[in-house]
Amino acid sequence: MDSQGRGRAGDIDPADQWVLNPNTGEYELRLTPSAPQSAVPRPRAPVPAGAGGTRRAGGTDGAGGTRRARGGTAAPPATPGREVPPSRRRRGVPEEPLPGRRGRRPVKKKSKAKKVLLWTGGSMAFVMVAAAGAGYLYIEHLNGNINSVADDGASTGGFDKDKAINILLIGTDKRTGSGNEGYGDAGSVGHADTTILLHVSKDRTNATALSIPRDLITDIPDCPTTQQDGTTKVISGTTGVRFNTSLGQDDRTPSCTMRTVTELTGITPDDFMVADFNAVKTLTTAVGGVDVCLAKDLKDPDSHLDLKKGTQHISGEAALAFVRTRHAVGFGGDLSRIGLQQQFLSALMRKLKSNDTLTSPAKMIKLAEAGTKALTVDSQLDSINKLKDLGLELGKLDIKNLTFTTVPVIDNPAEKVKATVVVNPASAPQVFDMIKNDVSFTAVKAQQKKEAATVAARLKGTKADASQVRVRVLNGGAQAGSAQAQLGYLQNEEGVLKSENGGNAPAELSRTTLEYAPDQADQARRLADIMGLSGSALKPGKSVTNSQGLPTMTLTLGKDFKGAGVSLTTPTKAPEGIQKSTADKVECAK
């Protein structure tokens, strides 16, 4: 009422719009004006004090005049010179304009369609909020499924989106879960029965899955392990033992297997994932099974396998029996089983990348449930968001460039009865170098052309005499003393007398590099020829000054440095005779 009070709404007094109905004894709102209204209200006469200056809500003015609203007729104005104001407009009834005045523009009613739209929009917003809440709760549920174990400093600290990725996949022989007690060694502590180092290239164009035989004789280094009470226990290493004892034996954790892989290959994994028997069963069931090809009937009572020749669709128990069998394929040993497991993983990859899986929300949810429950991961992958990020990186890979291979081995010469194997010294180092240096095992044409062009441009041309090569040697990640050892080799064996030891590099490098100015290209080509440096190791840039103030090249020894005088040429293809297959091709078990 204040907003319509005197002085703010002309001569309209809100109290004048209400009258007493004598029939009901209730005050009612005046609906129509009692008389035509003047276009311009007349001046208001002053009211003497005590002569009606007070107006009561009872409908009687100060002079005792009573206003009535009977039959729509109103009493004359109580105060001379005032016009009776029109009644307030009832909701839903159009307002009558005063004579001579323009009426208010009628309020446009919202259409029924707009009302429906508003209602639907509100409902949709509610649904979206509810879905977001449900999504959050589901993510929290998946996070609760994840079991993580400390990496105890054995990893790189987790994968990086801008670098090559190395994931260690470990399948244990631990008989946990319903129905698994009847398989073989029911009391197994969970050894590294199946181990694969999955390397994904920096540009995500290719990947290599390197299987490590469980019966490979190797050295297991000392392993600091976090105990349940939070303390750290160093588990002593052992030499000349089976690789599979790097997990489970003497309470070793997956971080011990990580350290063993680094010791064996020179490659430090970024993360690890551990799967038990249940993982094979639940993951294959979640995707609706996979198709495998058999060149013959396969029957193995030990693994409970019984499959007929031809293409077979397997999941659950049948899938577990398939990957566990040894006696039904090849020579009946672990190497034959590795080939079978690689065929199975290829089939699983094809199914995971198929539209049948990627376009099925039900299967994706089942996969999320099965994966988070069946896998144990390192502490860097302990949330669904981190696993999602890793999955997005792996999803960029074309499976035709995913190569499965095995560490090259030979029979253990120390055994009369051949039960174990050792690393093949002729070919295994080349395989490890290819993975370490991000070289594809498949023909990725664009990458090969780019590398070939780089090598041709940097290595082609004249070479300076060794006596004219001026270089400063830095240690950027090689073993302690490597810079001095390489300097001695260059001076004493190759005649590079204008060389000096520059100490440690400001940062560690994975690969050895040689930086030089444009006018030192002939010197760089000579040093590359001496050391076996590839074109990609040569870095055109600028020279620095040596201790005599003369311009010099900078040779930084990286983690790939193998020793003074050892060639650093990176292999461009896999060694002859190495077993390999790609995930896009269907192989038949024999």
Give 450-474 pLDDT, tens digit per residue.
Answer: 655 666 667 788 999 999 999 999 9
Asked whether residue 309 falls in the same domain as residue 219, the answer is yes
Mean pLDDT of 36-47: 47
Residue 576 belongs to some domain of the structure: no
Asked whether residue 348 falls in the same domain as residue 483, the answer is no
pLDDT value, residue 259 = 97
Asked whether residue 427 falls in the same domain as residue 459, the answer is no
Residue 317 belongs to some domain of the structure: yes
3-state secondary structure of 148: strand
CATH of the domain at 166: 3.40.630.190
Q: Is the pLDDT of residue 175 over 90?
A: no
Mean pLDDT of 336-349: 90
Query: Residues 6 or more apart from 346 whose CB is under 8 A from it?
Result: 399, 402, 404, 581, 582, 583, 584, 585, 586, 587
CATH of the domain at 548: 3.30.70
Asked whether residue 449 falls in the same domain as residue 429, the answer is no
CB 401 within 8 A of CB 205: yes
Name the CA dihedral angle for 127, 133, 135, 139, rounded to a multiple of 10 degrees.
180
Asked whether residue 509 falls in the same domain as residue 422, the answer is no
118: its two tokens: 């508003």
pLDDT value, residue 111 = 57
DSSP 507-549: S--SS-EEEE-GGGHHHHHHHHHHHT--GGGEEE---EE-TTS
CA atoms within 13 A on the CB side of 106: 9
Mean pLDDT of 271-292: 90
Mean pLDDT of 180-185: 50
Asked whether residue 283 falls in the same domain as residue 368, the answer is yes
Residue 579 belongs to some domain of the structure: no
Asked whether residue 240 falls in the same domain as residue 288, the answer is yes
pLDDT value, residue 572 = 67
Mean pLDDT of 207-222: 96
Asked whether residue 415 falls in the same domain as residue 476, the answer is no
Residue 53: how many other CB atoms lie within 10 Å: 12
Return d(Cα 270, Cα 166) in angstroms, integer: 5
3-state secondary structure of 345: helix
Residue 85 belongs to some domain of the structure: yes
Expressed as residue numbers, the domain containing 6 is 1-99
pLDDT value, residue 456 = 60
Largest CA distance in the chain: 133
Please tell me what DSSP assigns to residue 69: E
Residue 523 belongs to some domain of the structure: yes
pLDDT value, residue 21 = 67
User: Domain count of the chain?
Assistant: 3
pLDDT value, residue 113 = 53
Asked whether residue 538 falls in the same domain as residue 390, the answer is no
pLDDT value, residue 189 = 75
Q: Which candidate, 356, 358, 365, places its Cα nearest to that of 135?
A: 365
Over residues 108-156, the pLDDT tens digits come to: 555 555 554 444 555 555 544 555 566 667 778 888 888 999 999 999 9
Asked whether residue 361 falls in the same domain as residue 500, the answer is no
Return d(Cα 280, Cα 320) in angstroms, integer: 6
Q: Is the pLDDT of residue 397 over 70?
A: yes
CB 408 within 8 A of CB 338: no
Q: Directed axis angle between helix 316-324 and helix 334-352, to 10°?
A: 140
Residue 575 belongs to some domain of the structure: no
Residue 223 belongs to some domain of the structure: yes
- Pairing mode of beta strands 192-200, 165-172: antiparallel
Residue 562 belongs to some domain of the structure: no
Q: Which candidate, 364, 446, 359, 437, places its Cα nearest to that of 401?
A: 446
pLDDT value, residue 494 = 95
pLDDT value, residue 137 = 74
Return d(Cα 149, Cα 255) in angstroms, integer: 9
Which H/E stretch holds residue 266? none
Q: Is the pLDDT of residue 5 over 60?
A: no
Please tell me what DSSP assigns to residue 315: -
Over residues 544-575, the pLDDT tens digits come to: 999 999 999 999 999 889 899 888 876 767 77
Domain boundary pick from 436, 466, 496? 436
**Burial track 536-549 (b if 16+ CB lie within 10 A, e otherwise):** ebbeeeebeebeee
Mean pLDDT of the chain: 79
Return d(Cα 510, Cα 498) in angstroms, integer: 26
Q: Residue 499 — pLDDT band, cuts 50, 70, 90?
A: very high
Q: Residue 56 — pLDDT band, cuts 50, 70, 90?
A: very low
Domain boundary pick from 34, 67, 99? 99
Q: Residue 39 — pLDDT band, cuts 50, 70, 90?
A: very low
Residue 28 region, left (φ>0) first, then alpha (ψ -120 to 50), else beta?
Answer: beta
